[in-house]
Structures are given as C-alpha cells and as structure tokens.
C-alpha cells in the first residue's frame, strides 16, 4: 500500500441515496426557477420588484455572485497547475467542475432574466465590440472552452502533459473574465456608486474568496456523503488560503470606500451606503463586513480551529457575498443620479429620490434556480464521472506528508 501512496485513484460517488436526494432537491428548485422564468416571460417584468429605476434586481444579485464565484472556484486547480503545489492536484478536477457549474448557473439566470430571453441567438450573432457586455459573452464562452479542455487534460492520463499550459491559460482567462465582470459596473460613467476601475481588482479578490469558500463547502459535503475522509493538512492549507483571500477582499472594499470618501462629490453616495441607507447600510456592515469578512477571519485565524468552524466560516463568506452583491448592485441603483448638481430635483420619474426595491417571489425563485442548477450539474458529474479521489487523506494527497509520518 505504501508503495502506491503516489497513485491517486478517482471514483464516482457511491452513495446513491444521497445522490438522488440532492438531485431531487436541486431539480425541484431548477423547476421552480424555470416556472418563474416562464411566468416573467408571459406577464413581463411588471410582476417583479424591478422597475425603471432598479432595472437589475435579485436575479442579477444571484447571477453576478455565481459568475464571480465561478472564477474563484478555479483556485485549487490554478494552485496545483500554475503554482505547482502538487498536494492540490488530486482535488483540481472538482475545482474545474465547480467552476463550470457555477458559471452555467449564473449565466442561465442572467439569460432568463433578459427582457427578450428568446432572442439569445441575437446576443450570439450581433456584437458591438465597444460594449464590455459583448466582451463578456466571449470571455464566458472562452472560459467554458478553456476550462473544459483543462479538465480533459487533467482527467485523461495521456493528456496530462498539457495540463500545465492549459492551467496557465485558464488562470489568465479567469482573471480577465472577472475584470470584465467588475468592469460591467466600473464602466458606467454617471453612477456615483460605481465608476471606478478599482471595481475590477475588487471583484477579482471577492471571487477568490467566494469561490474558495464554495469549493471548501462542496469538497466537505462530497467527502461526508461518500465517507471519504479529508486530510487535516489539506483542510488547514485551504483554510489559510481562504483567510488570505477574505483579508484581500476586505482590503479592496476598504480602499474603494476610502477613495470615494476622499472625493467630496461622492460623499452623498458613501453616506448612503455606509451610514444612512437603511437596508443597504445594514447589509453592508452586518452582512458584507461583519458576517462576510470579520467573522470568517476570526473563525479561520483564531487558535484551535476546527472543521466545524471552517465550514461556518465558509457559509458566512457565502452569506456575506450575497449581501455584498445586493449592496453593490441594488444599492448602487437606489442612489439617484445627480443630473443637476446644486439643485433639488423632483419629477414623475422619481428624480432626486432614493429608490426602493422589494424583490418578488419570481425573482427569488429564478435566482435560487440558478444555484440549484449549479448544484445539479456538480452532483450529476460527481455521480457519473471520476472527479474525486477515492481517498482524500493527507497520505494520499501529499506523499511528502506520508514520508514524514513514516519516519
């Protein structure tokens, strides 16, 4: 056995009961999302909480979160292939799979929330290359192709030699992709809450954190479902990596707001988000900063960390991530545009007013449908294909660890 310590054997999920349960649950939510889409398609967006002031609502919160997390979910694979950390290599296929699944879920929500989602073929055939949205269409499809090929080189032994170059390509591509996602907001000239190139690196740092948290949750769930114990060393490494990402994301969020606070013209919107914005202020401080950043940092870095604490931290990061997206996307639109600086404006179209937003059940169902779709893809792929190592203990994942123990 000791001689075979280097040989990692991959196996499909064996626990049929858990598979069907998760598959059924995900299927239920996917069906709910599809029903919501059909209802919105039939009646129009009039049945949603969105309007001409909050044009991107809860579906965008879900979609952008999933797309950003998709890029971050590739962390483990990148660390293995690009940075040559062999301990992560056996866990890399799950990383690629999760990444593709999250991106599929996010893009599906985004597409089904379009006013004319039946015209998706138009989005694939008509391009305005000055639009960052159009660039994103290429970035997303390219990501599918590159990560798909990357997965193939990882899982097909004869193609292993190409894993490194494709890993590097995927790594660069995901950075560009998240830059593109952040720039969707950064390139809006008149919205005070955005209009900063800092949104691109901020989104990258957020993606690293969200993606890693979701990866750890998925890995732990898969390990628990199939009774494949996870090694202490790998969990500890992933935990440290996650803490670094959370701190980096918090740093960018702090710099972003400090920059805005330095510019007097942005004091209004900063005051709105940080002090006076009701639900948005609450979600920012309690959700994004408290639950999403400070709590996980304490849980991950305080002495005596346990598996349980790590999973709580991961869940808190995901909750904080949704709060962050809500504050960024909805809060940014809720703050009115200042067409006439120095004047108080009022109109039948709500000029000068802070806009309210109450999401409808349809938007929530559509968003949850996207999450469930990602879940369904992961569980089906794990059941049908050999994505996960049969053993995930430290001795299997890290031969040097095994040698050290043998001594």
Q: List Cβ neighbours of 16 (8 Å cut-off, separation of 6 or more).
A: none
CB of 148 vs other proteins, minimal distance in Å: 23
In the complex, minimum distance from the CB of residue 56 to other proteins, in angstroms, rounded to a whole number: 6
Residue 115 or 278: which CB sits closer to other proteins? 115
- Strand-pairing partners, residue 18, are none
Least spacing, CB of residue 361 vs other proteins, in Å? 16
Q: How far is the CB of 184 from other proteins (least distance, A)?
A: 8
Nearer to other proteins, 7 or 344 (CB): 344
Residue with smaller CB distance to other proteins, 10 or 350 = 350
Q: What is the DSSP letter of 130?
A: T
164 or 355: whose CB is closer to other proteins? 355
d(CA 67, CA 77): 17
Six-digit token string for 353: 């007013």
DSSP 304: S
Q: Shortest Cβ distance from residue 347 to other proteins (Å)?
A: 4
* Residues binding other proteins (CB under 8 A): 43-47, 50-53, 55-56, 114-117, 119-120, 122-123, 126-128, 130-134, 136-137, 184, 187-191, 333, 337, 339-340, 342-351, 355
The kind and range of the H/E element at 10 are strand 10-11
For residue 265, give both structure tokens: 């013209």
The Cα–Cα gap between 119 and 117 comes to 5
List of residues 6+ apart from 338 with CB closer than 8 A: 192, 268
Spatial distance between the Cα atoms of 29 and 24, rounded to a whole number of angstroms: 9
Residue 338 CB burial class (10 angstroms; 0-12, 13-18, ≥19): middle
Three-state SS at 348: coil
Do the beta carbons of residue 102 and residue 73 sit within 8 Å?
yes
**Measured from the CB atom, is 19 or 357 closer to other proteins?**
357
CB neighbour list of residue 50: distance below 8 Å, 6 or more residues apart = 56, 57, 357, 363
**Of the two residues 12 and 351, which places its CB atom closer to other proteins in the complex?**
351
Q: Are 329 and 194 in contact (CB under 8 A)?
A: no
Residue 43 or 267 having the CB closest to other proteins: 43
CB of 55 to other proteins, least distance (A): 4
Shorter beta-carbon distance to other proteins: residue 256 or 350: 350
- ∠76-171-238 over CA atoms, to 5°? 20
């Amino acid at each position: 056995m000791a001689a075979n310590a280097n040989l990692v054997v991959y196996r499909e999920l064996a626990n049929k009961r858990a598979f069907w349960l998760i598959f059924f649950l995900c299927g239920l939510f996917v069906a709910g999302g599809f029903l919501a889409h059909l209802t919105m398609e039939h009646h129009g967006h009039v049945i949603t909480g969105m309007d001409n002031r909050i044009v991107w609502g809860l579906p965008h919160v879900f979609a952008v979160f999933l797309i950003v997390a998709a890029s971050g979910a590739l962390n483990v694979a990148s660390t293995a292939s690009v940075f040559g950390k062999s301990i992560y290599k056996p866990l890399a296929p799950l990383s690629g799979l999760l990444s593709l699944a999250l991106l599929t879920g996010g893009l599906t929500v985004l597409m089904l929330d379009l006013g004319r989602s039946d015209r998706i073929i138009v989005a694939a055939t008509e391009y305005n290359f000055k639009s960052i949205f159009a660039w994103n269409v290429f970035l997303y499809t390219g990501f599918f192709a590159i990560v798909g090929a990357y997965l193939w080189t990882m899982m097909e032994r004869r193609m292993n030699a190409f894993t490194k170059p494709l890993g590097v390509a995927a790594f660069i591509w995901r950075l560009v992709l998240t830059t593109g996602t952040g720039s969707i907001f950064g390139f809006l000239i008149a919205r005070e809450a955005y209009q900063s190139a800092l949104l691109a690196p901020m989104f990258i740092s957020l993606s690293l954190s969200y993606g890693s948290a979701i990866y750890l949750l998925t890995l732990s769930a898969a390990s628990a479902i199939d009774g494949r114990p996870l090694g202490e060393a790998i969990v500890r490494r992933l935990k440290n990596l996650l803490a670094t990402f959370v701190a980096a994301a918090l740093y960018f969020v702090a710099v972003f707001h400090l920059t805005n606070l330095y510019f007097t013209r942005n004091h209004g919107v900063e005051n709105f988000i940080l002090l006076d914005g009701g639900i948005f202020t609450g979600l920012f401080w309690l959700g994004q900063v408290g639950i999403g950043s400070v709590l996980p940092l304490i849980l991950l870095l305080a002495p005596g960390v346990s598996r349980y604490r790590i999973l709580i931290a991961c869940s808190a990061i995901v909750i904080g991530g949704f709060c962050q997206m809500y504050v960024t996307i909805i809060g940014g639109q809720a703050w009115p545009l200042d067409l006439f600086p120095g004047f108080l404006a009022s109109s039948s179209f709500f000029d000068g007013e802070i806009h309210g937003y109450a999401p409808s059940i349809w938007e929530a169902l559509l968003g949850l449908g996207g999450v469930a779709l990602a879940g369904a893809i992961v569980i089906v792929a794990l059941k049908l294909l050999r994505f996960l190592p049969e053993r995930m203990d430290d001795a299997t994942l890290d031969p040097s660890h095994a040698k050290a123990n043998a001594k």
